[in-house]
Amino acid sequence: MRNHSGVVEVIVGSMFSGKTDELIRRLRRATIAKQKVQVFKPAMDNRYAEAKVTSHAGSDFDALPIQSATEILEHLDPDTTVVAVDEAQFFDTEITQIIQQMADDGLRVIVAGLDTDFRGEPFGPMPTLMAQAEQVDKLHAICMVCAEEASRTQRLLNGKPAHYDDPVVVIGASELYEARCRKHHEVPRD
């Protein structure tokens, strides 16, 4: 049974902040409530498993890997009431309209992704999704330098901070990234 009015929930934060764990927690609760759930993820994110969203802590949930946001509507079952999208920052801007359309159709849409890239700048469609959402939860990690609350993702190349002009999208985990606070986040521009 769909809601009278849909809703968009966005979970954001740096890497290692628990975004996917929170997404999976919400999906498990929806499943317990006997709601029909469908989960989508970008096909490029195959760090842990091809057909699952998997947290760095090891939690997972079945998901359909897709190349583009339009595939969500192509694969959407008519009896689905909850749609989740993990790593939404990797999709094109069309995802914002698709998510709005699903919510307008009465679906609960849960989106997780990085709000900023390794430079500390807004990442892909996430700022728009955050602005359009009914609920936004920003999670924090622990800074790997000072152990304070971290809101940034630090990319490392050979143990040193990546340069500003390096590619924005590089798939990886703890071998390439660390959580950092504002003070310890470095992005050299030389």
Q: What count of Cα atoms within 13 Å lies in the side-chain half-sphere of residue 168?
A: 11
Phi–psi pair at 88, nearest 5 degrees = -65, -20
Which has the closest alpha carbon to 62: 78, 77, 84, 80?
84
Contacts of 155 (CB under 8 A, 6+ apart): 118, 161, 162, 166, 170, 176, 177
Task: Supply the residues annotated as catalytic.
Answer: 87
User: Where do the DSSP E strands lie in 43-185?
Assistant: 52-54, 60-62, 64-66, 82-85, 108-114, 135-139, 141-142, 149-150, 152-157, 160-161, 177-180
What's CA 105's distance to the chain center, in Å?
22
